[in-house]
């Protein structure tokens, strides 16, 4: 009888650990997503500023050559 009770309690402990693992996995996923979002934002901002700068330079060059 005591062996059965120990087995049941150990199973409940394992289920608790599995719940913790699930929470950790979700946290890691959220962290990865936020890192991904941050890097994507930074990259797009960088690309936009580079694009704007190069377009400005090109249009100024073209205008002066045309004039």
pLDDT given at position 39: 73
pTM of the complete model beyond 0.85:
no
For the chain, the DSSP string reads -HHHHHHHHHHHHHHHHHHHHHHHHHHHHHHHHHHHHHHHHHHHHHHHHHHHHHHHHHHHHHHHHH-
pLDDT given at position 46: 67
pLDDT digits (tens, 9 = 90+) for 11-64: 666 766 777 777 888 888 888 777 777 777 776 666 665 555 555 555 555 555
pLDDT given at position 31: 81
């Amino acid at each position: 009888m005591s062996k059965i009770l120990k087995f049941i309690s150990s199973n409940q402990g394992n289920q608790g650990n599995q719940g913790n693992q699930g929470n950790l996995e979700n946290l890691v996923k959220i962290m990865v997503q936020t890192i991904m979002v941050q890097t994507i934002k930074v990259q797009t901002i960088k690309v936009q500023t580079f694009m704007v700068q190069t377009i400005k330079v090109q249009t100024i060059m073209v205008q002066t050559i045309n004039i």
